[in-house]
């Protein structure tokens, strides 16, 4: 089945970034890219057709019309009508599904003709307002999923967009919603503030499914989210050594909304790591420096809570050892992301966009796609080893190395839900000195099984970009050696 074609209409100069963001978002999202492609005029090669003819022909060809309306009206033809209005009228005449998004909280700065076009659209369909690109893509995501469901192309909604069985709006907390709205206004200038009716706020955040709260709504603002999703809790453990051993020195299970889970888990970690308290001689406020950068800890825990697979029977886990912090969350990295890609600028592909967006609005998450890079930068700035990332048995694992970490022990006794904590990549890095052959590395690690060493140690370290071959063009060369990656 051919992907449905989306036509994006706007005054191009005003919405150049937003147009590209819409295209990139649809292409990167694992669900939407199965069903949609995006037409942007700027992607076409040069041709001998007039631009207005090309645009209207593309409106005729499209399956969904998306209109981005801002303050500018754009170029006017001899009749005083802009291409944007011609395109909207053509989509209307052709009976195309139309999705219209208005930039800004009010219409005070709009060109008179654009204001008239906004009123015309409002008489025919429901419009949505947006302030940031993230708000636009979150709103578009919900609308396109709804379109797929209404047209029968999608039989089951994504987890975060689907109604939470047996949940009603009374299961949501107005106080939690008001706390979010206050913070979102303060952090991002969000259009709605405390006191906004629950139904209005949920509709604007795309958190209703035929009037019922979605899973995302319950996880964000539920009075007792774990009543509906028991494994949405976060398990936090503290071990004084480098192994998982019973009895656990400190073990707490946190419940509540996703915001509460992040706050509680971060407090758990920060209360148990070393910190230095300065004096007012250094600044007007007493400074506190932690051995692990708070921002990196927050980012790791936000990733685990916002991007985990909530259909899994496993819980997110935060484990603090004497030498490192490990944060585990159920789920694989969404394609086409890889562990190695996390070290480079990459697209944001959230597993749960309707959870990730409110976390961005309230300041819990920052610029899309930069989270792991920010973690790496924070750790380096603090003089720490770069974080490690890996996939392990259906779990995504983030590891922050504590300073002056002791040599890890290698034979842990583990609980059923916790896999061995001394990751092979770390052991290999510790054993690697200068340039070493495969045989030298195996001997240093005390490993005799070639296949096990290659699949469990060597290949994961290569995939993560932690080590490189000295003869990369000939992987099987008898002269092949391996060395650590020196990062700037």
Do residue 402 and residue 430 come from a single domain? no
Residue 211 makes CB contacts below 8 A (sequence gap 6+) with: none
- Which of 174, 207, 225 is the last residue in one of the domains? 225
For the chain, what is the mean pLDDT?
85
Straight-line distance from the first to the last Cα atom of the chain, in angstroms, rounded to the nearest whole number: 46
Same domain, 362 and 471: no
Q: Round to whole Å and give the CA distance between 470 and 475.
A: 9
Q: Is 245 exposed, middle or buried (0-12, 13-18, 19+ CB in 10 A)?
A: middle
Query: Do both 410 and 455 map to the same domain?
Result: no
Name the pLDDT band for 484 (thresholds 50, 70, 90). confident
Given this model, what pLDDT does residue 487 score? Answer: 53
C-alpha–C-alpha distance, residues 104 and 71, integer Å: 9
Domain end, chosen from 133, 156, 179, is at: 156
pLDDT in tens, 199-230: 999 999 999 998 999 999 999 999 999 999 99
Supply the pLDDT for residue 246. Answer: 81
**243 pLDDT more than 90:** no
pLDDT at 249 over 60: yes
Q: How far apart are CA 411 and CA 431, in angstroms?
A: 17
The answer, yes or no, to whether residue 411 has pLDDT greater than 70, is no
Q: Give the chain as a 3 state SS string.
A: CCCEEEEEECCCCCCHHHHHHHHHHHHHCCCHHHHEEEECHHHCCCCCCCHHHHHHHHHHHCCEEEEEECCCCCCCCCCCCCHHHHHHHHHHHCCCCEEEEEECCCCCCCCHHHHHHHHHHHHHCCEEEECCHHHHHHHHHHHHHHHHHHCCCCCCCCHHHCECCCCCHHHECHHHHHHHHHHHHHHHCCCCCCCCCHHHHHHHCCCEECCEEEHHHHHHHECCHHHHCHHHCEEEEECCCCCCCCCCCEEEEECCCHHHHHHHHHHHHHCCCCEEECCCCCCCCCCEEECCCHHHHHHHHHHHHHCCCCCCCCCEEEEECCCEEEEEEECCCCCCCCCHHHHCCCCCCCCCHHHHHHHHHCCCCCCCCCHHHHHHHHHHHCCCCCCEEEEECCEEEEEEECCCCCCCCCCCCCCCCCCCCCCHHHHHHHHCCCCECHHHHHHHHCCCCHHHHHHHHHHHHHHCCCEEECCCCCCCCCCCCEEECCCC
- How buried is residue 144: exposed, middle or buried, by Cβ count under 10 Å (0-12/13-18/19+)? buried
Paired strand residues for 436: 482
Q: Of 176-190, 265-279, 294-308, which range is least confident?
A: 265-279
Which residue range(s) make up the domain with 114?
4-156
CATH number at residue 80: 3.40.50.10140
For 95-141, write each residue's pLDDT tens digit: 999 999 999 888 889 999 999 999 998 888 778 889 888 889 988 99
pLDDT at 21 over 70: yes
Give the burial string for 422-439 (b: 16+ CB within 10 Å, else e): bbbbbbbbebbeeebeee
Verify that 342 and 261 share a domain, yes or no.
yes
Tokens of 112: 């008179």
pLDDT for 406: 45
Residues 251, 341 within the same domain? yes
220 and 237 housed in the same domain: no
Closest C-alpha among 125, 52, 51, 56 to residue 94: 56
307, 377: one domain: yes
Which residues, in sequence order, are CB contacts of 404 under 8 Å at separation 6+? none
Per residue in 41-99, pLDDT tens? 777 665 556 677 888 999 999 999 999 999 999 999 999 999 999 999 999 999 999 99
Domain boundary among 206, 225, 244: 225
φ, ψ for residue 307, nearest 5 deg: -110, 10
**Residue 407: is its pLDDT beyond 60?**
no
pLDDT given for residue 127 in this prediction: 81
pLDDT digits (tens, 9 = 90+) for 417-454: 333 334 676 777 777 888 889 888 887 777 777 777 88
CATH of the domain at 482: 1.10.10
Q: How many whole angstroms separate alpha carbon 161 and alpha carbon 163?
A: 7
Strands across the sheet containing 250-254: 250-254, 234-238, 316-320, 324-330, 395-401, 388-392
Count other C-beta atoms under 10 Å from residue 442's C-beta.
21
140 and 18 in a common domain: yes
**263: number of Cβ within 10 Å:** 16
The pLDDT of residue 322: 92
pLDDT confidence of residue 194:
96
Contact (Cβ atoms closer than 8 angstroms) between residue 388 and residue 428: no
User: What pLDDT, in 10s, does the model give residues 327-368?
Assistant: 999 988 876 778 888 888 877 778 899 999 999 999 998 655
Are residue 36 and residue 143 in the same domain, yes or no?
Answer: yes
Share of the chain above pLDDT 90, in %: 49
Q: Which token pair is 421? A: 């904590």
| One domain for residues 73 and 182 | no
Which tokens go with 104?
């800004």
Cα-atom radius of gyration of the chain, to the nearest Å? Answer: 26
Nearest-10 crossing angle of helices 438-445, 424-431: 110
Average pLDDT over residues 451-474: 82
Res 241 pLDDT > 50: yes
**Can you state the angle between helices 258-270 and 174-188, rounded to 10 degrees?**
70
Q: Do 149 and 190 fall into the same domain? A: no
Domain count, the chain: 4
Q: Residue 338 sits in a domain of what CATH number? A: 3.30.565.60
| Residue pLDDT, tens place only, 290-316 | 899 999 999 999 999 999 999 888 899
Same domain, 411 and 432: no
């Amino acid at each position: 089945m051919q992907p449905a074609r989306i036509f994006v209409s706007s005054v191009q100069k005003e919405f150049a970034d937003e147009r590209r963001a819409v295209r990139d978002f649809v292409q990167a999202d694992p669900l939407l890219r199965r069903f949609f492609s995006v037409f942007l005029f700027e992607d076409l090669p040069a041709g001998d057709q007039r631009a207005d003819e090309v645009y209207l022909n593309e409106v005729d060809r499209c399956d969904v019309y998306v209109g981005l309306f801002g303050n500018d009206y754009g170029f006017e033809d001899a009749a005083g009508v802009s291409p944007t209005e011609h395109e909207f009228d053509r989509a209307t005449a052709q009976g195309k599904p139309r999705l219209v998004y208005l930039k800004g909280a009010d219409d005070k700065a709009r060109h008179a003709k654009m204001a008239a076009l906004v009123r015309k659209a409002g008489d025919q369909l429901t419009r949505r307002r947006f302030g940031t690109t993230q708000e636009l893509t979150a709103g578009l995501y919900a609308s396109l999923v709804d379109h797929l469901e209404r047209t029968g192309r999608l039989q089951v909604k994504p987890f975060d967009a689907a109604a939470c069985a047996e949940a009603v709006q009374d299961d949501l907390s107005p106080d939690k919603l008001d706390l979010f709205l206050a913070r979102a206004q303060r952090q991002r200038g969000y259009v709605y503030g405390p006191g906004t009716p629950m139904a209005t706020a949920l509709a604007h955040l795309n958190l209703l499914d035929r009037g019922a709260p979605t899973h995302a709504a319950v996880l964000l603002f539920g009075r007792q989210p774990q009543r509906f999703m028991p494994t949405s809790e976060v398990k936090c453990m503290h071990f004084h050594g480098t192994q998982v051993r019973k009895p656990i020195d400190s073990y707490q299970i946190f419940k509540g909304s996703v915001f509460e889970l992040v706050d509680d888990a971060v407090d758990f970690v920060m209360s148990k790591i070393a910190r230095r308290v300065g004096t007012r001689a250094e600044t007007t406020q007493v400074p506190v420096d932690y051995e692990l950068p708070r921002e990196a800890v927050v980012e790791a825990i936000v990733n685990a809570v916002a991007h985990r697979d909530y259909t899994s029977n496993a819980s997110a886990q935060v484990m603090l050892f004497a030498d490192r912090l490990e944060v585990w969350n159920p789920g694989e990295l969404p394609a086409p992301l890889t562990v190695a890609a996390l070290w480079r600028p990459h697209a944001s592909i959230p597993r749960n966009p309707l959870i990730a967006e409110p976390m961005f609005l309230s300041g819990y998450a920052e610029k899309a796609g930069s989270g792991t890079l920010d973690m790496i930068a924070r750790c380096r700035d603090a003089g720490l080893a770069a974080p490690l990332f890996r996939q392990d048995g259906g779990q995504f694992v983030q590891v922050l190395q504590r300073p002056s970490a002791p040599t890890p022990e290698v034979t842990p006794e583990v609980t059923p839900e916790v896999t061995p904590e001394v990751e092979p990549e770390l052991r290999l890095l510790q054993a690697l000195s200068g340039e070493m052959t495969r045989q030298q590395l195996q001997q240093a690690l005390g490993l005799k099984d070639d296949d096990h060493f290659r699949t469990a140690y060597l290949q994961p370290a290569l995939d993560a970009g932690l080590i490189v071959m000295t003869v990369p063009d000939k992987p099987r060369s008898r002269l092949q050696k391996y060395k650590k990656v020196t990062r700037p």
